[in-house]
Amino acid sequence: MYSIEPASREVGQSFRDIAESQIDKALRDLERKRDSKTLTHELRKRCKKLRGLLKLVRPVFADFSREDAAVREAAQMLSGARDAEVLSQTVTKLIEATPRRSQTLSRIRDKILAEPISETEVRDQFARFQAALLEIRGRIKDWSLTKSGFSAIEAGLERTIKSARQRMRNALKTRTAADFHEWRKANKNHGYHVALLRNTAPAILRPERDGIDRLSELLGDHHDLDVLAETAARTPERFGTPKQVESLKAAAAGSRQELETTIADLGRQTLAERPRAVLRRYEQYWSTVVPAAGEA
């Protein structure tokens, strides 16, 4: 469950239910015997969705700072288990994008995949992550919001949309890795917020979310290329000979440049509407589900 049902429950209760659902799904995933790479990816997604939920009600949730930090720190416990997998996946995409370098890039990918993984360390990371989630889970029953109805989410929605538009302008102006990454985070949260509201106008918001998610995916690819290039510069021995490393950097730079053109076009289209206009539109969707007199 990752949607607010405005017609059936008070927003604060829905907020708590969604948070519990995300944590419970993560805890169930931990109990199953799954590939550690797949499990790490799914657990990190749960954390991102939970943080997106928290940001939706940030202005009316007094415990936001503590709980957002707790979820962020839990996710960071899994970062080591994910790094090598992201690097190998990014190189795979480069192989597909630059066939003339495929032989060199394939050797680099094989070298990354051959790096030893400490299963003991991975199990310890999962155990610490589980303990952190259980602590957060125990506090959810006491979470409360200072407003109800659309007012509970209005300021959070506007804040995120404004942030996504401003960070887009910054990234397209500076073209720095840091600014593109900041844009990605804001756009990702915007996508989570649209997902949380999708049942107020599913025929409109589900396709709208698809566009936002596609933009986030491209921004994620951009970030992965930056991480790959930065890691290769910092620890070139992980990737092969100096000549191989230079080939990798050139492929990453070329792919990054192509991505930026696509990202700029899609970003301007996806975030073309002014924040207040988006907000009023979402409020209208909400009002068609919840009568003007208020919620039950």
User: How high is the pLDDT of residue 33?
Assistant: 66
Give just the sign of the alpha carbon dihedral 241, 242, 248, 251.
Answer: negative
User: How high is the pLDDT of residue 38?
Assistant: 82
CB 18 within 8 A of CB 49: no
Q: Is the pLDDT of residue 295 over 60?
A: no
pLDDT, tens digit, 9 for 90 and up, residues 7-50: 666 899 999 999 999 999 999 999 886 677 788 889 999 999 99
Left (φ > 0), alpha (ψ -120 to 50) or beta: where does 42 sit? Answer: alpha
Give just the sign of the alpha carbon dihedral 27, 223, 83, 102.
Answer: positive
User: How high is the pLDDT of residue 91?
Assistant: 95
Eight-class DSSP state of 273: S
Task: Give me the chain's average pLDDT, please.
Answer: 92
**E strands of the chain, at which residues?**
none
pLDDT, average across residues 154-177: 97
User: How high is the pLDDT of residue 37?
Assistant: 76
User: How high is the pLDDT of residue 291?
Assistant: 58
User: Which H or E element spans position 58?
Assistant: none
CB 53 within 8 A of CB 192: yes
User: How high is the pLDDT of residue 135?
Assistant: 98
Q: How far apart are CA 122 and CA 118, in angstroms?
A: 6
CB neighbour list of residue 121: distance below 8 Å, 6 or more residues apart: 80
pLDDT tier at 163, thresholds 50, 70, 90: very high
| Angle ∠(258,44,176) on CA atoms, nearest 5 | 30
pLDDT, tens digit, 9 for 90 and up, residues 94-105: 999 999 999 999
Give domain limits for the chain. Answer: 11-289
Nearest in space to 200 (alpha carbons), one of 153, 239, 243, 156: 153
Q: Is the pLDDT of residue 265 over 70?
A: yes
User: CATH top-level class for 11-289?
Assistant: mainly alpha
Q: Is the pLDDT of residue 82 over 90?
A: no
pLDDT, tens digit, 9 for 90 and up, residues 132-144: 999 999 999 999 9
3-state secondary structure of 63: coil
User: How high is the pLDDT of residue 293?
Assistant: 40
Residues listed for the chain:
296
| Paired tokens of 238 | 């992980």
pLDDT, average across residues 130-158: 96
pLDDT, average across residues 199-220: 96
Q: Is the pLDDT of residue 93 over 90?
A: yes
Q: Is the pLDDT of residue 187 over 50?
A: yes
Q: Is the pLDDT of residue 174 over 70?
A: yes
Eight-class DSSP state of 6: T
Q: Is the pLDDT of residue 81 over 70?
A: no
CB neighbour list of residue 240: distance below 8 Å, 6 or more residues apart: 104, 107, 108, 111, 248
pLDDT tier at 118, thresholds 50, 70, 90: confident
Give the long-range contacts of residues 127-133, CB within 8 A, separation 24 or more.
128/77, 129/30, 129/43, 129/74, 129/77, 129/78, 130/27, 130/30, 132/70, 132/73, 132/74, 132/77, 133/23, 133/26, 133/27, 133/74
User: How high is the pLDDT of residue 1?
Assistant: 81
User: How high is the pLDDT of residue 80?
Assistant: 66
| Paired tokens of 64 | 């936001």
User: How high is the pLDDT of residue 296?
Assistant: 38
